[in-house]
Amino acid sequence: MDLSSRKIGTPINQRNTTSQGNRTIGKMQHFGDRVAMRHLAEGQFIKGEVTDLRNSQVSILLEDNTQVVGRLDNVNWLSIGDVGTFKVQSIENGSIKLQAIPLSDSEIENNTMFKALEEAGLPHNSRNQTIVLSLIRNQLPITKPSIQNILRQSYELKEASISTIVLLNKYHIPATHENASQFENYLCGNHALSNELTQCLDNLPSLFREMALFADSSMQSCTKEFLSLIHSSEAFATEQAGESFYEFTSGKVKNEILSILTDFGLSSEDAEAMTQTPVAISALVDAIDASYNNALSIDARNQKEAMSSLSPEESANPLAVQEALSEIPKTIDAFDHPEFQKIQSAFQDYLQSNQVIGGFFDEETCKKLAQFLEQNPNAHTLSEHVKTGSATLNQLMEGIEQTVPFAKTESLQELFVSDAFTFLVSHSLKKQWALSPDDIRNKDRIGHFYQKVLNQAKGIQKIMESISPEFSESISGESLSSVKNNIQFMQLLNNIFPYVQLPFQMNGQTGNGELYVYTKKEDLKKNPHQITVLLHLSLEHLGKLDVHITKNGLILENKFYIENDQSKRLLKKNIQLLTDHLQELGYSVTNDFNSKEAKTDLLQSFISQKEPAHAIKRYTFDIRA
C-alpha cells in the first residue's frame, strides 16, 4: 500500500455495496484485522476512511480493509465517512496519536458527495456524482429530493448539461428546453441579440417566398396584417432636413462644369448665380439633366442630318453608315468630366439621407412599383411620383398598404418576392430593431423597444403559422423563435441581476452592447454610495470593448479593456471629449486603458460562480445508524 500518496484509493472512494458486502459505515465492528503497532512508524502516512469518531478517538479503515484506532485531537472539520490522509505523530505505551492532514478542495467535495449519495440511498454512478458536485458548488441542498429533481430534469432536457440544469434551479428559472438552450447560449457567448435580429433580416426573402407560396386565398389579409405590424413611419425618418449644397473639387473645376452646362442650355443668369453662391445639389442635378438631354438631342439631330446626306446605296451599306456616324462629334462626351460622377454620387447620398426612393431603386424598379400602385384608383399622383423616383420610402410603404385591398393575389405574390419589397421591409425593421443613442439614454424607450420587437416576432410567427403549420421548423421560423426566446430569457435573467442587451445603431455603424450592474449585498453594506457597472460593447470597426465603471459619489473610475492597439489609440485620442462632458456634470474622472488579451466570459462570471473552498458549506450526515 502506497502510504506516501495522497490519492484516495478506489475501493474506498467508490464504496459500492457490491465490494462492501454487508458492512455498514460507522458501525462499531471489526472489518478485518487491526494494524499491529509494530507495522507503523512515527512520521508514517496512512490513508483511509473514518468509520468512527468520538471523544478524540478515531477508527480508520485502510485501503487493504485493515483498521487503525488512535487518538486524534482538535479536528472539528472531520466527520464519519470522510476519506483522508493521516500522519502517525507518536506511538507510546500502546497508544497511537494521529494528525489529520487538511483536505484539499476536491477531497472536501468528494467526501461530501459520497456521503450525500449514501444518505440518499442513490447509486454512485457518474451522472449522480456530477449532479451532487454541481449542487455543492452552487451552494444548493443535496437532499435526496433535490438530487432526484435534477436527475429527472436531466433526462427530460437531454441536450442540456447538468451544470446548466442546476443553475436554472439555483436562479428559479423554469427548466424548459427553450430556457436551457438560451442559458447555454449566454454562457458560451452566443447570445448577442443583434446577431439574431440580423439573421431574421437575412431570412426575409425565404419568409416572403413561403408567404407567397402558401397564403394564396388569404394573401390579402395576411399582407394587410403583416404591413400593419412592421410599418413604422419613424423608421423612414430623414437623417437630414432641407437642402444639401455641393462643394466642387476646386474653383477651376466649378467653372469648367458651369461652362459645359452653359454650352448646352444653362442660362447665363443661372450660371452667374451658381458662380456667386453655394450650389444646391438638387438644382445642380436638374441643370445637368437638362443640359445632358439637350446634348442627346443635338447628337440625335446631327445623326439624322448625316444619314439624310447619304445616297440610297450608301444608306443600304452598313459600313458606309458606320463611317458617316463615326465622323460626327458626340457632344455628350463633354459629360465624361470626372466631376459629374462625384456630383451624381453626392446626389445619391442626398436622396438616401432624405429617404427618397430614387436613391435606392433604379428606374425599372420604380416603374414596377408604380404599376402595383396603379391598382389603387386613389393613388394616381403617388404612382407618378414613384415612377419618377421622387416619392419617399414612407410614402411608398403607405401607398402599398392602401393598395392591398385593391390588389390581385398574383400581384401581391409578385410584390412579396421582389427585391424592392424585401429592401423596404428590411430597411424598416433594421431601424426599428436597433437603439439610437437617444433611446439608450431613456430607460422607458429601452423597455418599449423590447416590447415592440417581441410583439413583432410573435406577430410574424402567428401570421406564418396560420398559413403554414410547418413554419416553426423552417429557417425563418427558427430565427424568429430565437429572437423571442432570447428576449423572454433576458427578462428572467434580469431577475437575477440588473442586465440588459443594447443592440444599437450609431453613425451608420451597428453593434451590440451589454450592460451589467454589480449589486453584491456585502459591498453595498460596506459602501452604499458605490456602484460598479460593466459595459461590454462589440462594434464593427473598434472591435470588442469592455468598460468597467466604478462610481463612488461624484468620483468616477473608468477602466477600458480594448482588443487591439489601433482602437486603443483612437479611444485615447478622443477620451477627453467624454472626460470634459462628465466634468461639466460635476464628476471627478480617471481613465485607465488596458489591452484585452484574453477572451473573458463576463456573463458567466456573473451567473456561474464557483464558491471558494472556504465558502463551501459543511454538510453533516449521521450515518452511524
259, 288, 593 from 269: Cα distances, Å: 13, 16, 59
Q: Give me 456's grid cell.
A: 413583432
- pLDDT band for 256, please (50, 70, 90 cuts): very high
Which single residue is written with the C-alpha cell 436613391?
A: 359
**CATH placement of domain 464-607:** 3.30.750
Which of 22-26, 329-333, 334-338, 494-498 reaches the highest mean pLDDT?
A: 334-338
Whether the pLDDT of residue 13 is over 70: the answer is: no
pLDDT number for residue 122: 92
Whether the pLDDT of residue 3 is over 50: the answer is: no
Q: Decide: 290 and 265 in contact? Cβ < 8 Å.
A: yes
Spatial separation of the C-alpha atoms in residues 578 and 83, rounded to whole Å: 59
User: Pairing relation of β-strands 509-518 and 530-539?
Assistant: antiparallel
Q: What does the mean pLDDT of the chain come to? A: 83
- pLDDT band for 7, please (50, 70, 90 cuts): very low
Which of 14-28, 333-347, 468-482 reaches the highest mean pLDDT?
A: 333-347
Q: What is the pLDDT of residues 379-416, one digit of tens each?
A: 999 999 999 999 999 999 999 999 999 999 999 999 99
Q: What is the pLDDT of residues 75-133, one digit of tens each?
A: 777 888 888 889 999 988 878 999 988 877 887 888 888 889 988 999 999 999 999 99
Task: Classify domain 10-103 at the CATH topology level.
Answer: OB fold (Dihydrolipoamide Acetyltransferase, E2P) (2.40.50)
The structural domains of the chain, with segments of one domain joined by +, span 10-103, 111-195, 245-351, 464-607
pLDDT number for residue 509: 73
* Nearest residue to 175 via CA among 189, 196, 161: 161
Spatial separation of the C-alpha atoms in residues 572 and 445, rounded to whole Å: 31
51, 187, 228, 550 from 65: Cα distances, Å: 12, 45, 79, 58
Q: What is the pLDDT of residues 319-337, one digit of tens each?
A: 877 887 777 778 888 899 9
* DSSP label at residue 125: -
- pLDDT band for 37, please (50, 70, 90 cuts): low
Provide, rounded to the nearest whole percent, the portion of the chain with pLDDT above 70: 86
- pLDDT band for 229, please (50, 70, 90 cuts): very high
pLDDT number for residue 360: 95
Q: Decide: 421 and 399 in contact? Cβ < 8 Å.
A: no
Whether the pLDDT of residue 482 is over 50: the answer is: yes
Whether the pLDDT of residue 31 is over 60: the answer is: no
The kind and range of the H/E element at 472 are none
- pTM (2 decimals)? 0.72
pLDDT number for residue 17: 38
Q: What is the mean pLDDT of residues 429-437?
A: 91
Q: What is the pLDDT of residues 500-527, one digit of tens each?
A: 899 988 776 778 888 877 665 556 566 7
Q: What is the mean pLDDT of residues 337-343?
A: 94
Q: Decide: 548 and 561 in contact? Cβ < 8 Å.
A: yes
- pLDDT band for 480, please (50, 70, 90 cuts): very high
* Nearest residue to 501 via CA among 546, 440, 441: 440
User: What secondary structure does DSSP assign to 562-615, as a single string?
Assistant: ESSHHHHHHHHHHHHHHHHHHHHTT-EEEEEEEE--S---HHHHHH-PPPPGGG
Q: How far is CA 448 from the centre of its chain?
A: 19
Whether the pLDDT of residue 2 is over 60: the answer is: no
169, 294, 536, 565 from 186: Cα distances, Å: 16, 63, 14, 28
Whether the pLDDT of residue 615 is over 60: the answer is: no
Q: What are phi and psi of 9, to 5 degrees?
A: -70, 150
Q: CB neighbours (10 Å) of residue 427?
A: 17
More confident residue, 597 or 338: 338
Spatial separation of the C-alpha atoms in residues 132 and 116, rounded to whole Å: 8
Which single residue is written with the C-alpha cell 487503525?
A: 68
Q: Give me 314's grid cell.
A: 450608301
Cα 79-82-87 angle, rounded to 5 deg? 95
* First-to-final CA distance of the chain: 30
Q: What is the mean pLDDT of residues 289-301?
A: 90
In one-letter notation, the amino acid at residue 443 is: K
